[in-house]
Copies of this chain bind each other. A is one copy, B any other.
Amino acid sequence: MKMPPRLYIALLHYPVYDRRGRVVTTAVTNLDIHDISRSSRTYGAERFYIVTPIEQQKALVRKILRHWQDGPGALYNPSRGEAFGLAEVRGSLEEVLADISEKTGCRARLVVTGARFTAGVIGFEELRRNMASDSGPYLLLFGTGSGLAGEVTDRADFILEPLGRSSDYNHLSVRSAVAVVLDRLWRER
């Protein structure tokens, strides 16, 4: 089971909308780190970036990551340690893009996800075909809160078709959404 090469994932805590549509910074959620690390590792993503500009939150994430990467957690649960090996914290989307450029020599294509998009979206099969015919890195962006702010989605190379588009209810957790998106991208190869 392999993803298209060089798939990167980022979970943004800023800039995202709150439920009233204001741009805010959300707090990091411990189980997001666990679940998305595990999904990233299962489906073969290269890296999972947790993005927050707040220094205390970055320090908290580093502490959690260390616990599972090299600390008591790695001894208690080695498979969790393996998943956490993919995770790191960054201060901004720009820092993530710079890191991917440094690793791969290419600027990543930005793929934005979210539940509210209707027009101009790319389907899973089409995205997969694009990734297969393009050797460069792709960065899948997921938003916390009520979704990625316009200043991020405006920069997208692709806006991914929302999950649950034909449901009358479309409020998956971001943890669930990451797993389903990766499963669909993997399966539709």
**Chain A residues within 8 Å of B, Cβ to Cβ:** 1, 19, 31, 34-35, 38-39, 41-44, 77, 79-80, 82-83, 163-173, 175-180, 183-184, 187
Chain A to chain B: the 5 pairs with minimum beta-carbon distance, closest first: A176-B179, A1-B166, A1-B167, A35-B173, A42-B164
Whether A83 lies near B38 (C-beta < 8 A) is: no
With A179-B176, A180-B180, A184-B183 as contacts: A43 and B171 at CB distance below 8 Å: no
Known: A175-B176, A177-B179, A184-B187. 5 other contacts (CB 8 A): A38-B172, A42-B163, A42-B167, A176-B178, A179-B179
Main secondary structure of the interface of A (DSSP, over half): helix
Roughly how many angstroms separate A166 CA and B39 CA in the complex, as a whole number? 14
With A42-B164, A180-B179, A183-B180 as contacts: A171 and B79 at CB distance below 8 Å: yes
